[in-house]
Structure formats: C-alpha cells, structure tokens
Structure 1
Amino acid sequence: MSKTNPTRPGSADDDGLQARADQEAGAARGTDRSAALNKLILRSIVDHAIVTLDADGVVTSWNRGAEDMMGWTSEEAVGRHADFFFTPEDAQRGRPEVEMRQAVEEGRAEDERWHRRKDGSRFWGSGLMMPLLAGTDSAGDAVQADGGVGGFVKVFRDRTMVREGPDDGRAAFGRSWSEPRRTGTVGAFDFDMLENRLIADGVAARLHGVPADRAAKGAPPDPFYARIDPEDEAAVRSATDAALREGRDLDVVYRIRSDGGPPRWIHSQGAVHRDGDGRPARLSGLVVDVTEREEQARMQEARLRFGEAVRDLDDIDGIARLVVRTVAETLYASRAGLGDVGPGQNMIDIRAEWIPPGGRSIAGPRDASDFDSFGEILLGNRHVAISDTRQDRRAQDRARLDALGIRASLGVPMLKRGRVAALLFVADDRPRGWTDGEVAFLRSMLDRADAAIEQVRSERERDVLAGELAHRMKNVLTLAQVVVTQSLRGVPGIEDRQRAISGRLHALAAAQDALTAAHQGPLDIRAVLEATLAPHRASHDAASDPFELSGPPVMLDAQQVTGLTLSLHELATNAAKHGALTRATGRIRIAWSRDPSGRFELEWKERGGPPVAEADRQGFGSNLLERVAGSYFGGRSGIALESDGLRFRIDGQLPA
C-alpha cells in the first residue's frame, strides 16, 4: 500500500467546508461502525450537498442538502451517473470523469462551476471531490486500497450570490427567485467586511429606506440601520457582529420604522464567506418582508388578550372601551370607536372611542350623515376601507375629517335581525392601505365584543327577572300565610297549628330568598343553614350562640335547598319547644361531610336540653324528617331519641 497525505490548498472556499469534507471521506473507512457514522454525517449536514459515487461515477448516496439544493430526491438520484447534475456542456466534455481522475492523482479535485437543478435552472456550485479511502496504517495516516479507489465523495455549496453579486445573481435563481422578486418582498445584499461596504438590490434598499442608487454602488452599513426600530437595533447589530466574528449564519427578524405608519417586519438571513486564510470576509444573503406574517401573529395575540381580559368585566361600557383600545393599538391607528346604530339606521351612538391626547372626541349620539362613508356601511352591510380621504369620493366632508385628523379609515358593521346594529371603526392621521387581514381582525373583534356585551345584558336581564319572580313568590307565600291565619282564627285549640303552618311558609320564603341571591344556581350548604337558623340565633351573641356548624363547602341544587330548609325549620322549631333551645345551656351541633365519591352525611345533634320523650303521634314534621328529607339527597334520613338529646341524620349520595 502507498500512503497519501492530502494537502489543504490555500484557495479552499472555507475551512468549515474542508473539515466537513475530510470528515465525510474518513467516515467511509473500515468497520460497520464507521459506515453507520458515515450515514449519520450524510443525514446531518443539510447546508452542503454531499454526494458519494462509486468508481464508475454512479451515485451511491445523496444527502438532504443535495435534495434541497438540486431538487432530486435520494430515490431519484441514487443509481444514476453523476453527469445528470452537471450542465449538458460539462457532461458532454466528460467533466465528472476529469474530476474523478484528478481526485485520484492529486488527492482532491476542486470544483467551481455551474451545476444543474431538477427544474432546469442553474447554480454556481463550489466545493471539491475526494477519493474514498480504505483505512489507516499503523501511524494513523490515510491509505488507498491497492486496487485503486472504492469511490468518491463530492461536497459543495451554492455560491451563486458570491459569484454573481446581489444584483446580477438574481437571474441564476430562475423561477424560485423571480416569483417572490416580482412581489417586491424579497431583496438581496452582500457586505464586504474588509471594505466595510454593503451592496443591496432595489428591494432591500427600499425596505430599509436607502436610495436604490446608493445601495447599488455600495455604502457603509449604518444607513441600513438608521430606520430599524430602536427596540430591535441592538439585537440586529449583535446578530450581525456575531456572524462576522464567528462565521455563523445570520438569522434575525426586526422592524423598520415608517413615517408615522405601521412598521414593516423584515426577516434577514445570510451566510458568511471566508477568505483564503479562512477568516470571515463577506456576508451575503436575503431580506424578506414578513410584515403580513408577523402582523397576523400580533392580531391573534390581541384576540387572545382581549378574550382573557373581557372575562373580568361585567359592565358594557368597560367592554366597549377595551375593544376600541385593543384595535387601535394593534392596528397602529390614531383613532377607534364603537357605535350602536339606532333602529331607524339614521343615528349612531358612539359608545366608546380611543383617541390620542389632545384629539377631538366624537363620542355620543351622532347623525349618520356626519360620517360620510358610514352611510355605505348602513345601506350595504359591508366594510368600507378608505386609504386616503382626500382622494376618495366617499369622503365628502374633507375639511371636517381633516379637523378630526382622519386621513384613512376602516369600518365594519354588525348585522342583527336584518339590520345593522353596531359598527366598529379605526382611523389614521396618514394615508394607508388596509389589508384583508386587518379587515378580518376588525370583524372578529366586533364579534367578540358583541358576544361579551350580550352576555352582560343577558345576565342583567336574568337578575331582574329572577328578582321579579322572587318578589312574586314571596307575595304568594305572604298571601297564603294571611289566608291560613284568617281561616283558622277563632277555631278552638288551633293556635299551634296556625303557628306551624306560618312557620313553614316563612321557611319556604327564606329558601326562596337564598336561591334568588344565588341566581337559582347551586348554593353552599353553610349559606342555607345560616339563613334558616337566623331567627333562632337573633337573640344570641357570638359567645352564647347555641349552634355549632362544621363541614366543608358542599353545593346544593334548588330541590336540596328546599328540602333541607324545611327539615331545619322543623328541627329548630321542635328544639325551641321541647329540646335544647328551651334551656340556656342547650347546644346543637350540625356537622356534614362529603367524600370524593360523592357520599354525603349530615347530622343534627342536640345536648343540654330536657329529657327526651317519645312523640305521641306522627305529624307533618315527623314524616318530613323520617321519610322525605333523605330523598332530596338520593338517600335516607331518620331521627334517634338519645338520652342526651335528639339526633337527626341524612345519608345520601351527591354527584361525584
């Protein structure tokens, strides 16, 4: 075997490329382990095209970088002779074979020439081809097999921009460049670090507010920084300096300030090129106007913030103020307003507005004719966008609009029951176009604000209705109490029954009051206990309170509130007549619990009262406590007359 010690020529494109190429050649050596490493490297390096060939020049592997650069997939490329990605002229001259022969004779073959993509376009590929070596000798030096090489590895990068420059190189990108170029959203630049000179095409110059002729001739980079938003400038300079200092790729997003209008968002990407000594020397790349993408993200964030904030508001004016401030700040507008449209479609009540300090207010009721273009909204139920009030015929009272500081406006309507019920608008003090995304954002914010306002109105109407129903229910119970009292008056021995019926009706009224306060929704058990027992605690202070309440929060529905209220009323009335409440030392402990499975227990236990005696008859109260109360809780209930006082229990099951 003969040793080969490949040398590194000083004209290599960069030392990072050389290192990766050496890695790629070494990866083919020896064992299965090195073969696996070779495959891993091929898959991992995606910014270089790495192609391996057999001794005859047939492609044996094709990495992800080659797929991205040239367009053919690995399945399409493997098995074909390498001349398919050379230009037809070079393929006809046998250029692939020339490179392979040179690689064998000299250890490597440098390659800088035009190559072909799958779509027919061309790019300037810069790299080298090397023979795949078989292994190492005892000294660790690379050696070739006696029978020649087993194949080749070709490593190269797309250097079209470096060769052609930012202006002339555009054509080499073919259709992939020309389509975005026509939109005016993609530009190119090249910065010479040694000369401190930045050359940019017309698009890149326009996006940064630099005269195109100056950018084409080259200028120091400072003019390109001049219009970067101050909040972003430090990050852009830091990323650029790091790319030039360390040779890393540039990838940064920033805002460009406009003359009072919305900023433009720019995404800048570039690659560093090294000189013959391996030092970073140039930075070439593209700038892309990504304003639409970034603004869409900002608008989505604004929607989410509004949704979170509006949940804490329970007044309509507060919601209106929030939505106009949100749309004004998000769309960089100088004015925003939310108006209710009257039934006759001729009056607009500006409920809320956002204006800059010192701006003239238009809040309050206004005739629709005062708003020029809004009349079109009311008649046609469509948004109206005016980019310049001095040029648009729909803006008739231009002097008034100028006085209000309105040069551009956008308004969207809300349709209800076949008529426009509300409108949301923004305005700017400078001419500006309005995008479809901004129209959609304004519509979505009007929808969200309207839904929140309707929710508040519904809750208010529900509260009014619930209060009215509760008032009527109390009137019915009061009337029933009067009828019972009058009907039983004068009947011998009926006083106790009269008081019992009146007390039960009073208990039902108390339960209704508690439910009304909770808007007929679930009510915590402690609130039910305190409301029902209040009459029996009124004559006691905290120290002498005969009731001890103990238990966790448990929510009860309307039926359970009613059943428990009646049961407590019967127990408290009995205790006041015969039990613990007849003595100053008497006490009543009410304890309840609920476990994770929903099992519910409540116990009423009296102590300190007179000796307990068996009742001589069963009445309404006994039947309620023994047979009915437990059913409200999906279980059973019962009374036990113990030596130290009455005990009442409910064992039930609540939803888990």
Structure 2
Amino acid sequence: MAQAGMGAADGAGELAALRDERDALAVEVARLRGLLAQPETSQLAGPTRSTPAMRDVLFAAVEKTRMPMIVTDPNLPDDPIIFVNRAFQELSGYSAESLVGRNCRFLQGPDTDPEQVVAIRAALAEQREIAVEILNYRIDGTPFWNELYISPVFGTGGEVLYHFGSQVDVSSYRQARQSLARSEARYQAIFDGAVDFAIVATDSSGLVTNWNVGAERVLGWSASEMIGEPVDRIFVPEDRAAGRADLEMGRARESGWASDERWHLRKDGSRFWASGEMLPLRGEAGRVDGFLKILRDRTAERARDEALAETETRFRTLVEVSPQVVFFADATGCVTYCNPFWHAYTGLDHDETIGDGWIRAYPPERRPTVMEAWRLAVQTGERYEVEMPLRRARDGADRWFLVRGEPVRDAAGRITSWIGVAIDIDERRAAEAQHAFLLALAATLLALSEPRAIMDAAAAALRNHLDVDHVGYGELAGTVAAEASGAGVRAALLRGETVVVPAAAARGAPTWPAAIHVPLLRDGALRAILQVRSNARQSFRPDEVVLVEEVAARTWDALVRARAEDALRELNSSLERQVAERTRNWRRCGGRAAISCASPISTETSST
C-alpha cells in the first residue's frame, strides 16, 4: 500500500507539472489567436504544409513544449492533422509524415470506450472544450491511457480555425491510483474488520478522523458521534485532567511508539481495562499528520491475571510456611528451589541444595539408591516415589520421609519442570512397625504358658525391637538404687506412673543410661517393674514409651492368663483325684449305700 501510494504521488506530481505547462501554453495560445486571423497567417491552413516547414510563432511555441500536442483543421475534410510536435511523435511512435493529413481516430482501438468517442464528437460539433481519459494505442499496438484535452481556436469572426489538442500519458499514474485505491480498500476492510480491536485515527491535534467498527463495539460511541471529537473523551476523568492523551501523543511523536495499559471509559460511563499503543501517522517529509490509537478490552484478562497472581501468592505462602519439604526441579531433574522447611531441617542452604546438592541430606549408604531412582523417573517421565530417611541437622537423627515428584507438562505433553514434596512419615512407620511388633509378640506369648518363659520372650522381643542394651523385670529396691533421684522415682512407681529417666553424666558424679521404668500393679500393690535401658541413647521418644507400657500390659495379661490356666489345670487334677477316691470308697462300701462313706468333693484351689 505504501509503494502504491508513493507511485501515485509521483505520478500525480508529474501530471500536475504537465497540466501547469499546458495551462501556460493555453495562455500563450490565446495571445497568439489574434495572429491567426491575420492574412499573412492564413497560409497555415493547408494539408500540404508539413511540420518541419512550420515557422509560425504558434507552432513554434507548441513545438518546443514537452507535452504531446497536435493541431487539426476542421475546415478540411475529416478534420485532418496539420501539425504534430515532437513529443506527440515520441508518445505515439508515429512520424510526422505518417500523421499529417489523417484524422486522429486511428489512435482508437478495440478497447476504447465508444461513449468517450461519442462525447469527443459532440464537443467538436458544439465547438467547445473537452477533457477526457481515453484508451489509445501506439503504432506497435500497445495501449496507453491518454488524458486528452481538445480546444477550438476561433478566428476574429468567431469561426473555428483549428482544433488544438494535447495528450498526457497517464497510464502509470492511473495504475498507481488504482493500486492505491485497492490498497486503501484493503486497509479499510482490515480497519473495519478488526472488530476485537478499537482502532482510532486522529489528526495531529488529537481530533478523531476515523473510528472503526471495533471502536464502536468496544467503546460504545458510533463513528458519527466521535469523528471531530477529541480522543481524550475515551480516557477516564483523572487521566483527562492529567493530560494523558497529550502525553501519549508526545511520546509517540518523539519515539515512534507509545504503549498504553490503563483504565478507559465507555459511552455508558463504565470503565474497562485496555491495553494498546499509539503510533504516529507521517505525511510528506516525515511530518506527523496524525496518530493511530489501537486498544483492546482486557478487563477479563486482567481479572484472570489478578486471580492467578493471588493464587500464586497463596501457593507461594503455603509453600513457604509448609511443615513439610516442597521442591522444584527443571526438566532435566536439577533442583532449582526448596522451601524453608528443607533448609531448616537439613541445614543445607540454597546454593548447597540446587542441582544435585540435595543428595547430601540422605545418609551416605542410601544416596546411590535415591539418586538412581530420581534419574530413572526423570528419564521415563514417571512419578518419583521413595521412602527414605533424611538426616536432621539439629541432632543427626534420621527420620523417614515419603518423597514424591510429579512432572509438569505443557499442552504438547512435554515435561517442563518437576514439583515434589517430602512428607515426614517417621511416626507412621514407627506406628506400623510397633503394630507389627505387637502382633508378633501376641502370637509368641500366646504359645507360652510358663510365666518365666513369657517374661523372657517379651523382654527379648522388646530389646531387639528398640535396639537397647537391657530389658528385664525387677523389684522396686533395685530400680531406685540405680537412679540419682531415688525418692522421686519410688513415689512415682508406687503411684503406678511410668518413669522415663534421661541419660546423665557429670564430672565427679555417677553416670546412668537412659531408662524407662513401667510399674506392674496388682490389686493396687506394686508387684514388679519392667525396665528398659540404653547406653547409646540420650532419651526415648514418647511413642517408644507407649510401646513399652503396652508390652508391659500385654505381658501382664499373658501372665494372668498363664496363671489362670495353671489354676484350671490344678483344679482339674484335684477333681480327678477326688473322683478316683470316691470311686474307690464306693467300691469298698459295696454299692450305693456306701456313698455316704466318702468325703465330699472340694473345688477350692490355692490362691494365685
């Protein structure tokens, strides 16, 4: 469109220059009309006079111009050409000799408009001027658009002496003009077809000169309502007061472009969030003749962006305060972020963690297995899931975590990143292990019937499960003697309370290990104490204390069961002995009458 416009402009300039020259020549022709009526110039009216022989001042003037021109004589049959200048010969390709004496109709061709021919004939007949664009043909048959101007030259008596004709080849100008028209039509179609965009053109002062369909739809005003109005009408009052439209035009004028993202105003007074830009429209010599403002309603997008930003803020806050590990990694599996819980737990800072540095939080013997599982997940794109202990920086303890990583995929299914969590499952695993331990212990104790065997089996199982140095049953005196705060321990045990004693060591004072003492009471009396001791521990976890109490209770239940079974067996044995004795007595007494001789059967047993 720009090239077509430039071509049209160039053609228009050249055409204007030729027209100016023709007008100047017409003035000269008018001056010379008086000469044509004088007797000494009458010799010009004859078909036998050729162009090179013309010495008349009129023809001399016409000969010198670069505009193609001819002179015909309407007083001769068929109004033949009597003079043709050099410029016309160059335009048509015909020589002067082949032109003089012929009517101009030979320039017409198959596509010449008959109506224009009729119009020319009518003007000649009516002795008036005429200017038309007509399709003519050169000697080689190539067409050209001819801007033809014909004017009669009158004598002093008002008679027509000659027909004066000028021609201008406007083919390139016409082609450029048509191309420009097509481009402008395409531009207007695009301008009006961009219904999702408000496109507003203004002059250099900011008055609206064009207003597309999209502007009507987005802003509410029609083109007739806005053309000629200041463009700042679409700005909200506070921006109008601040001269925002003038500031945008100033930036566009200086830098060639000005962005715009702010609230704008509709015809009904409602506001909408718009995003767009302003561009300068330049004319001749690069002068800014106006501006083009393009904007789009992004209210819904802004609301979505704000909601997304709020969601991201909430998610970021949730990640930051989460009591579990949260981590991010890129598509290759390199960790890029871990939340504060990770750093506090592992003691590794950000630089020590990113990449593959996180592996140092695992016990050394576990690292190859963890890394191999992670690399396999990254390679296959499958979920990463392992249960592994992580070493706590505070005390060097290894706590079990369930670590899961999920790939994040784009619309095409390609992995763009990874997000994962590590959940502390140490207590869950301990609970599961304790549950399995108690089930196995119950089966073991159920198979035993001897009290000593029951206590030994329970002590051995508990010692192995807790990995401690000693588990056994003792009496109160021996337990208290081993502790520094003997009186306090004694009182608690007598009340039936479990006592947990942390390890202690002081210079010049006795050292004792961490211990758990669980009292075994019966009928309110302290019968025994289940003791657990560890030389390697500083103390015991609460869940371990609960487990020891549960083992003590189950052991006691097993002992009660075993003693009840012993009593039942003793009762059965006693009954069997009594029945045997009465049977012997019955036989000794000789039958029924002798039954009364026997002793009554006793069901009493010794106390357990």
TM-score, scaled relative to structure 1: 0.39
**By percentage of residues, which structure has more helix?**
2
- The alignment's TM-score, normalised by the length of structure 2, stands at 0.42
Whichever of the two has the greater Rg, that structure is 2
